[in-house]
Structure 1
C-alpha cells in the first residue's frame, strides 16, 4: 500500500510493506533500496524495540500485540519504520497489518503533515492498541478469579498460566517501547522537528508509559493470584496426604487382627458363641482409640 500525504509542496509518501512472504535480504535491498543491515533488521522477527539515526535516516523497531493468540495467550510482534525527508516505510506482517486501518482512521482527523508526524501518530496508535487488550485481560482475570474461588480445577490453573504468560509478553513489549520512544526523544532528529511534532511525540510517549504501567500492574496482580492458588493447592495436597496417612494407619489394625486367624495358634474368643461379635467390637474400640490419638497429633 502506498499513500501520498502532506501539504502542497511538502508531499511525501507512506508505504506499507508486508514482509510475511519475504525471506531474503536481497529482495528488500533491490525493491526498497535498503542497506543490508537495515534489511536484516526488517526480517528479524525477534528484534527488540530500538531506534537508530544516522543523520539522514531514522530506523525504529516498535512492538505491537499480535493479531492472533498463540497457545491461548497473547504475544507481540515487531513493526519496523524507515523514515527520511520524503518518505516513510512501514514493514508489517500478517499478524501486525491490522494496525494499518487504525492509523488510516487517525490520519483522517489528525494532520500528518510530515513523515516524522506520521511516525509519531503511528507510535500513538500502536501504544493505544495495548490498552483494549489489557482491559480484556483484566476482565478475564476477574472472571477467572471467581471461577477458581468456586472450583479450583486443572483447567482454571491452566487458564491462569496462559493469562500470566500473555501479560509477561505484553509487559516486556510495552517496557521496550517506552525505552525506544525515550531514546527517540533525545536523538538529533527530534531537535529538527516542529513544536507540533514534538507534542505528538510526547503524546505517544505518555500513551506508551500508560500501557506499560497497566501491563505491569496487571502482571503483578496475576502473579499474586498465581502464588495464592499455588499455596492453596499445596495446602489441599497436604490435607489429602494427612487423610491418606490416617487411613493407612487405621487399616493396619483390622489387618493385624484378621491375620491371626490364618495362623495355627489358639486365639481368645474363637470358641465362644458369638465370639466374632466381641472381636469386631474390640477392633472397633482399638480403631477409635488410634483415631483419637492421631487426630490430636495431626490436627
Structure 2
C-alpha cells in the first residue's frame, strides 16, 4: 500500500506498507528511489543504521522500534525505514509497525502551519523521540517482573522461576540489540548532518539522550537478571549435587547387605552357620558394616565437598 500525503507545497509524505511490485516500480520511476535503497528499506531483517546515496540525494534511516507483544509473547522489535529525498519523506512500515504512521500523522497535524516545517527532519525527530521513549515501559516492566520472581525465589527455589528469568533475559536481548543499533544510528546521523539548525541539533541531541538512557536502563536490568539467574542456578546445581551425594552413599550402604547375604548362597562353610542365633548375628554384622561405612564417608567430609 502506498499513500501520499501533501505536507507543504514542496514536501510530500509517502507511507509505504508491504508494497506490491507495481508500487515498487512507481517508487523507482516516479519518486526517484533507487533499487538498492528500496531493497534496504523493505528488508524486515535490516539492522539499524544510516545509509546514503549522494548521487541520488537519498538518505535512509533504518530505525528499530518496540512492538507491543501479543498476550505473553516475548518482547519484540522491528525495523522501520525513513527515507529523505529531494521533495519527499518516505516511510516504510509493516502491519507490525503501522503504529508509527499514526505518530507521524500527529506530527503533520501538529505542525500543519507550514512555518513550522522547514525540512523533513522537523517531522522525523519528534517521532524518533517518542519511539525512543517507548522502550522505557517494557524495560521497567521487565524489572518489576524480576523483583516478583526474585521474591518467589527467596521463598522457594525452583526451575520454573529460573525459566521465567531466562524468558525475561531473552526479551531484553531484543531490546538491547535494537537500542545499541539506534544509538549508533543517531550518532552517525549527527556526524553526517552538518547543516542542521540549532533547534534541529538540540532535538537530535534529545533523541540521542533518550536512546542512550534506554540503553543504560536495559543494560542494567539485563545484568541484574543475568547475575541473579546464574546465582540461583548455582543453588539448584548445589542442591542437585547434595542429592546425588546422598543417593551415592545410600547405594553404597545398600550394597553391604547384598554382599553379606550373598555368601550364604555359596557351598562353603560360614561363621555362625551352626549357631541357633546365626541369623541374628549375621544381621548384626551387616548393620555394623553398614553403619561403619556411613560413618567413614561422613567423617571423611566427602558429603560437604
TM-score, length-scaled by structure 2: 0.85
Give the aligned partner of residue 215 of structure 1.
218
Give the aligned partner of residue 241 of structure 2.
238
**Aligned pairs (5 A) from 1:183-202:** 183-187=188-192, 190-202=193-205
Give the aligned partner of residue 35 of structure 1.
34
Instruction: Sort the Cα spacing of 1:261 and 1:277 in 2 relative to 1 into closer, same or farther, 3 A.
Output: same
Moved more, 102-111 or 155-164: 102-111
Moved more, 65-74 or 163-172: 65-74
Shift of 1:103: 4.6
Whole-Å Cα distance in 2 between the matches of residues 106 and 150 of structure 1?
50
Moved more, 67-76 or 41-50: 67-76
Q: Does the 8 Å CA contact 1:49/1:62 hold for their aligned counterparts?
A: yes
Q: List gaps (5 residues or longer) in structure 2.
A: none
Give the aligned partner of residue 120 of structure 1.
125
Shift of 1:2: 4.7
Give the aligned partner of residue 182 of structure 1.
187
What is the root-mean-square deviation in Å for CA atoms of aligned residues?
2.6
Matched residue pairs, number? 291
Give the aligned partner of residue 158 of structure 2.
153
Q: Does 1:229 align with 2:232?
A: yes
Shift of 1:204: 0.8
After superposition, give the CA deviation of every residue in 1:237-281 in whole Å (9 maximum; x if it has no partner).
Answer: 321221121112111111111112222223333443343233222
SS at 1:216's partner residue?
A: helix
Whole-Å Cα distance in 1 between the matches of residues 108 and 284 of structure 2?
89
SS at 2:50's partner residue?
A: strand
Give the aligned partner of residue 136 of structure 2.
131
Q: Does the 8 Å CA contact 2:158/2:236 hold for their aligned counterparts?
A: no
After superposition, give the CA deviation of every residue in 1:43-98 in whole Å (9 maximum; x if it has no partner).
Answer: 21121111133453321101112333699422321010012353311111122123
Give the aligned partner of residue 13 of structure 1.
12
Q: Does the 8 Å CA contact 2:93/2:100 hold for their aligned counterparts?
A: no
Instruction: Sort the Cα spacing of 1:120 and 1:203 in 2 relative to 1 into closer, same or farther, 3 A.
Output: same
TM-score, length-scaled by structure 1: 0.86
Q: Does 1:143 align with 2:148?
A: yes
Whole-Å Cα distance in 2 between the matches of residues 134 and 3 of structure 1?
35
Q: Does the 8 Å CA contact 2:41/2:60 hold for their aligned counterparts?
A: no
SS at 2:135's partner residue?
A: helix
Give the aligned partner of residue 67 of structure 2.
66
Whole-Å Cα distance in 1 between the matches of residues 20 and 155 of structure 2?
50
Q: Does 1:249 align with 2:252?
A: yes
Whole-Å Cα distance in 2 between the matches of residues 5 and 186 of structure 1?
27
Considering Cα pairs closer than 8 Å and 6+ residues apart, tell me whether 1 or 2 has the greater RCO. Answer: 1
Q: Does the 8 Å CA contact 2:257/2:286 hold for their aligned counterparts?
A: yes
Whole-Å Cα distance in 2 between the matches of residues 149 and 100 of structure 1?
45
Instruction: Sort the Cα spacing of 1:79 and 1:193 in 2 relative to 1 into closer, same or farther, 3 A.
Output: same
Shift of 1:195: 2.2
Whole-Å Cα distance in 2 between the matches of residues 236 and 103 of structure 1?
55
Q: Does the 8 Å CA contact 2:7/2:108 hold for their aligned counterparts?
A: no
After superposition, give the CA deviation of every residue in 1:108-141 in whole Å (9 maximum; x if it has no partner).
Answer: 6678624211111121111111111111111121
After superposition, give the CA deviation of every residue in 1:115-169 in whole Å (9 maximum; x if it has no partner).
Answer: 2111111211111111111111111211222233333333323222221122122
Q: Does the 8 Å CA contact 1:3/1:15 hold for their aligned counterparts?
A: yes
Q: Does 1:169 align with 2:174?
A: yes
Q: List gaps (5 residues or longer) in structure 1.
A: none
Shift of 1:292: 1.0
